Amino acid sequence: MMPTGDRQQIDRSQTFDDFLAEQGMLEDAEEQAIKEIIADQIRDAMGEQGISKTAMAARMKTSRRQLERLLDPANPSVTLSTLTRAARAVGRTLRVELQ
């Protein structure tokens, strides 16, 4: 059990985004979340359409290894070009906007 003197006061009015921003981690967390969401959407579209990874790579005119990098949530290095080709390969469009 932790001694009471070692406990830090927690600001309960702070959001998780506030905490991440304070720690300098918000941008990285948001980028990672967006990458994971897009990868999941592509994977779901492949599943709905019965597209194998090999067939998907062929549709994208890329290697299966490149497709694996696209679908890997831990790999943040994905270009807009790759995302656009993946979206088209499953009959979707990629929309990027500034807010």
Confidence of residue 90 (pLDDT cuts 50, 70, 90): very high
| pLDDT of amino acid 73 | 83
pLDDT digits (tens, 9 = 90+) for 49-76: 999 999 999 999 999 999 999 999 888 7
Q: Which of 32, 45, 31 is nearest to 93 (CA)?
A: 45
37, pLDDT greater than 80: yes
Q: Give the mean model confidence (pLDDT) for residues 29-50.
A: 92
Residues 71 and 96: beta-carbon distance below 8 Å: no
In order of start, what are the domains of the chain with their CATH numbers? 24-99 (1.10.260.40)
What pTM does this model have? Answer: 0.75
Rounded to a whole number of angstroms, the CA Rg of the chain reads 19
What mean pLDDT, rounded, does the chain reach? Answer: 87
